[in-house]
């Protein structure tokens, strides 16, 4: 017995092709398997992040005219710039993958080393990529970690810029970042002047 599923052959580019039951079972079995794998990957990544280490990172001062958009803010962290005294080797190259060791100091985490391999006894490590090298004297490198863009509800950027201009915000930004055991980071939330940045820019305790 042959079956024709409306829209299915056209979707697959098989106009005029009729699928029998066995072919349909194979097709839907493959689709189901792909969905299971996709859901499994998403679930694993989410679990990995939720069980990761929460670190608080300092950011450098932001320019609201350049760093804010309608739906995101570009964050530049203190750990984006790493001085040469943190290097475990003479030099790095642009585009190189690196591992940055983090250590807690008071309420924030700071970089204490950068290498092309994992550190043996570090508290937390995060993967990054070298984007700039000070070639004149090799005094520092710049590294990105994939956590530099933070998406916000639409309209918060202009509202935050207005509060800057009215001197209602000092503009001290910190980011709570979850780092999993695979050294991947994800921004959990952003703090402004020690308070959680929400859609109304209201004052909340950060819970730290």
Q: Tell me: the pLDDT tens digits for 46-67?
A: 655 567 899 999 987 665 555 5
Domain count, the chain: 3
State yes or no: pLDDT of 204 exceeds 80: no
- Cα separation, 208 vs 205, in Å, equals 8
Global pTM value? 0.68
Q: Are 70 and 45 members of one domain?
A: no
pLDDT tens digits for range 152-166: 666 565 566 555 555
State yes or no: pLDDT of 181 exceeds 80: yes
Q: Are 69 and 155 members of one domain?
A: yes
Over residues 15-26, the mean pLDDT reads 68
Q: How many CA atoms lie within 13 A of 80 on its CB side?
A: 15
Question: Cβ atoms within 10 A of the Cβ of 1, count?
Answer: 4
State yes or no: pLDDT of 77 exceeds 60: yes
Higher per-residue pLDDT: 188 or 160 = 188
State yes or no: pLDDT of 98 exceeds 70: yes
Tell me how far CA of residue 191 lies from CA of 26, 99, 106, 111, 173, in angstroms: 51, 25, 16, 20, 6
Q: Which of 128, 146, 164 lies at the terminal end of a domain, its last residue?
A: 146
Q: What is the pLDDT of residue 65?
A: 54
Q: Are 138 and 91 members of one domain?
A: yes
- Enclosing domain of residue 86: 79-146
Q: What is the pLDDT of residue 35?
A: 83
């Amino acid at each position: 017995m042959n079956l024709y599923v409306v829209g299915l052959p056209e979707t697959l580019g098989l106009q005029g092709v009729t699928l029998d039951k066995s072919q349909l079972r194979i097709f839907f079995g493959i689709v189901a398997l792909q969905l299971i794998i996709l859901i499994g990957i998403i679930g694993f990544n989410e679990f990995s992040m939720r069980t990761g280490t929460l670190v608080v990172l300092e950011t450098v001062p932001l320019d609201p005219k350049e760093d804010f958009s309608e739906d995101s803010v570009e964050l530049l962290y203190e750990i984006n710039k790493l001085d040469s005294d943190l290097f475990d080797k003479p030099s790095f190259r642009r585009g190189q993958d690196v591992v940055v060791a983090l250590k807690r100091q008071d309420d924030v985490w700071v970089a204490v080393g950068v290498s092309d391999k994992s550190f043996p006894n570090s508290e937390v490590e995060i993967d990054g990529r070298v984007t700039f090298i000070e070639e004149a004297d090799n005094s520092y490198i710049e590294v990105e970690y994939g956590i530099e863009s933070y998406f916000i509800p639409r309209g918060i950027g202009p509202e935050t810029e207005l509060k800057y201009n009215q001197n209602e915000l000092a503009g001290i930004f910190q980011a709570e970042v979850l780092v999993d055991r695979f050294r991947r980071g994800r921004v959990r939330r952003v703090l402004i002047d020690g308070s959680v940045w929400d859609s109304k820019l209201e004052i909340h305790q950060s819970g730290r």
